[in-house]
Amino acid sequence: MTVLRLDQIDGALINDICKDGWPESQTLEFKREWYTSSDKDKDEMLKDICAMANTDGGILLYGIQEQLGKACKLAPMVGVVGTTLISKLRQHLAVWVKPSAPRIECKEISVELGIVLAIKVERSLTGPYCYGLNNGDTKFAKRFVNGTTQMSYEDIRSAFTAEGQVLEAARAFIRQRIELFKSDDAPVVYGEASTVVIHMVPLSSFSLVQTVDLSVIDQISTGKLRLAGTASRIRPNIDGLRLQPDSTSYVNEGQLQIFRRGSIEYSASVGPRAYRDHKDLPVTAVLDWDLMQQVFNAIHCIVECIPLLQTEGPCVLAYSLLTSRGAVLSSDPPKNLRYSPVSDRARLEVPTLF
């Protein structure tokens, strides 16, 4: 389901929304005014935010009057400071919502005679949010078509079940990609060389029926994103886009695959190579400084890509060293290389982070 982005919302769009009578939907709601300090309004505020988060996420627009579920006219807020309202909202969410405050972004839009406040609520990918004031009455809410209602027992149960399914789907995707590297069926074949593979998989990749806009990666042509310290080239493929260093030895310097659903995969050959004092003993050191530098570069590249792709919510981060049997479990340069412990496993993995 398509959700407006905050950077799309400006004064002109607000006027069009009112003029064209945009309808409310599961991901869009209009509010004529901000909440008062009464318990009734506080409860309404918590319900509005949690309902969006528990369904598909969406946008709340404060300062637009609706009639019969459609925007009918501007009702600009006057004499208020958007940042102050949002600060209080965050405080209320932190105190009265469990297990934690939903993720929100805010934008103040100047219009004639006042402001409109836009709040974007991210969809929950870690189970449903519940809310309740001091009376201990805990409630779960959800959006439906153009309204808000309380979740049923089955709704709550399904939401918790879906959380586990999404997380398992992300991990299954990582396992599937690792198997491709092991069988030399990945886009880049590293053969017998030890290979480092890093995955950053947003859970939204497996829960939202939408793809990311890969055209924004054209910004890479400016050299903003770099692998191995050099500018990167873009190579479209069936899965999305592949970035590789703009050099002839790109296989050793790494590849960055960006998938159409927002997942990111880095892979590179890391050995074996001979050490200065042990030229007769080519090895791969697991804590090799060159390897660590490659990992740092890859993570930097991934972090730069995430805001460009506008992926949301939590991610699974996985690190694997393939073809690692015989790799030296020591730092670089090891003083006693010949006596350092050696891996007897074909694959080493750091536990996934979430």
Q: Which tens digit of pLDDT belongs to each residue from 155-203?
A: 888 888 877 777 888 888 888 888 888 787 777 767 666 778 888 888 7
Confidence of residue 249 (pLDDT cuts 50, 70, 90): very low
Across 6-15, 146-155, 161-170, 274-283, least confident range: 274-283
* Per-residue CA distances from 176 to 58, 228, 263 (Å): 32, 26, 13
Is the pLDDT assigned to residue 272 strictly greater than 90?
no
CA-CA-CA-CA torsion sign (8, 13, 14, 19): negative
Torsional sign, CA 323, 327, 329, 334: negative
DSSP 113: T
Q: Which two tokens stand for residue 80?
A: 């208020």
Q: What is the pLDDT of residue 18?
A: 93
Return the minimum-mean-pLDDT range out of 140-144, 202-206, 211-215: 211-215
Inform me whether the pLDDT recorded for 75 exceeds 80: yes
> Would you say 120 and 104 are in contact if contact means Cβ atoms under 8 Å apart?
yes
314 has a pLDDT exceeding 80: no
pLDDT value of residue 12:
93
Residue 200's DSSP bridge partners are 264, 317
Phi/psi of residue 271, nearest 5 degrees:
155, -170
205 to each of 26, 27, 170, 181, how far by Cα in Å? Answer: 20, 18, 8, 21
Is the model more confident about 131 or about 4?
A: 131
**Percent share of the chain, pLDDT over 90:** 27
**Stretch among 273-282, 301-310, 327-336 having the lowest mean pLDDT:** 273-282
What average pLDDT does the chain have?
77
The per-residue pLDDT for 233 is 72
Beta bridge partners of 147: 144
Please determine, for residue 25, whether its predicted confidence score (pLDDT) is greater than 70: yes
What DSSP character marks residue 94? H
Q: Strand 255-259 relative to strand 264-269: parallel, antiparallel, unpaired? A: antiparallel
Non-local CB neighbours of 261 within 8 Å, separated by 6+ positions: 205, 206, 211, 212
Statement: residue 223 has pLDDT above 70: no
Split at pLDDT 50, 70, 90, the class of 244 is: confident
List, in sequence order, every residue forming a beta bridge with 23; answer none if it has no partner: 70
- State the pLDDT confidence band at 351, using cuts at 50, 70 and 90: low
Three-class SS of residue 61? strand
What is d(CA 47, CA 50) in angstroms, rounded to the nearest whole number? Answer: 5
